[in-house]
Amino acid sequence: MVARCAGDGAFGPVLVSDNNHAGQCYSFDFTLLFEESIFSIAPCALALPIFALRVLQLRKEHVPWMVSPQRIWRSVTYIAIASIQLALVALWGTGRGVLTRTTLASAILAFLSTLAVLVLSNYNLYRSIRPSATVQAFLLATILLDLPRVRTQWLLDDNTLVARLFTVTFALRVVAVVLESFNAYRDDAIPQQKRRELGLDPESNTVPPEMRQGIIGLTFFSWLNPLFWKGYRKNLTMDDLYAIDPKLEGDVLHARLLKSWNSGMTSSLIKTLYRD
């Protein structure tokens, strides 16, 4: 197997083979320094203040209901990820594996980001009926960005232990995305006070499924699958259709449209289309 070219300590972004070793090493890859800087440090540094702002926003919401079993599984997953990341910090801190000048900073930021995700996920679980879009977006982004990083770790010489631990954290983040996509509570577990805040009938035990979707559900319209399956088995009636989000009802949208339209601003049409 052809070895990686030298140059992981340079920003790159790609490995470069010198003239003396042309064709003798594998250069079609990012440098380790580039991957750590752009694929790890940058998204984690950007996400941490966003997580803090989102937690502050959620603190204003009422704490509505009981502890969900989902909270236990999510917390266990994030604690496992953080534990392995802490082990990686210890390994790299003692000189194990292949290091660059950004390796330790990247590992510490990844560890802190996981702790922040744990806090935000639990806050969101208590205060929102919808999965956290912030957490889901961060997990999906880091999974995509870590794909080349996992490959690189396995290609580095004398790096088996670090590569295995890094791969396990990657797999656990995939599990975390799946857990974050599930609804944490049954419809009938949501109290009347929260239903009134959302504009729902406090006497009803149902919630429009669209209101409970995160990024993945809204992107792929997965909440419609039960309706499609029911329509495959029988002719649908009006009673089979889901209720809609109160914010999307015609009279509500009409009022918002008129308010924006009558604002008198030059950009009222753009503002109306953007908001409504």
How deeply is 216 buried, as exposed, middle or buried, from its count of CB atoms within 10 A (0-12, 13-18, 19+)? middle
CA separation for the pair 213, 131 (Å, rounded): 6
Q: Which pLDDT value is given to residue 138?
A: 95
Q: Which pLDDT value is given to residue 159?
A: 86
Instruction: Give the residue from 93, 100, 96 showing the smallest Cα distance to 34.
Output: 100
Is 114:85 a contact under the CB 8 Å cutoff? yes
Query: In Å, how far are 57, 65, 208 from 200, measured between CA atoms?
Result: 22, 16, 9
CA separation for the pair 41, 38 (Å, rounded): 6
Residue 1: what residue type?
A: M
Instruction: Give the residue from 183, 118, 151, 162 showing the smallest Cα distance to 39.
Output: 151
Q: Which pLDDT value is given to residue 216?
A: 83
Helix, strand, coil percentages in the chain from 3-state DSSP, rounded to 5: 65, 0, 30
Low-confidence ranges of the chain (pLDDT < 50): 1, 21-22, 275-276
Q: Phi first, then psi: give them for residue 197, nearest 5 degrees.
A: -60, -35
Instruction: Give the residue from 39, 12, 28, 31 showing the smallest Cα distance to 170.
Output: 39
Q: Which pLDDT value is given to residue 276?
A: 44
Q: Which pLDDT value is given to residue 170?
A: 96
Q: 0.85 exceeded by the pTM?
A: no
Residue 195: what residue type?
A: R
Q: Which pLDDT value is given to residue 265?
A: 60
Q: Which pLDDT value is given to residue 118?
A: 94
CA separation for the pair 198, 129 (Å, rounded): 10
Q: Which pLDDT value is given to residue 275?
A: 47
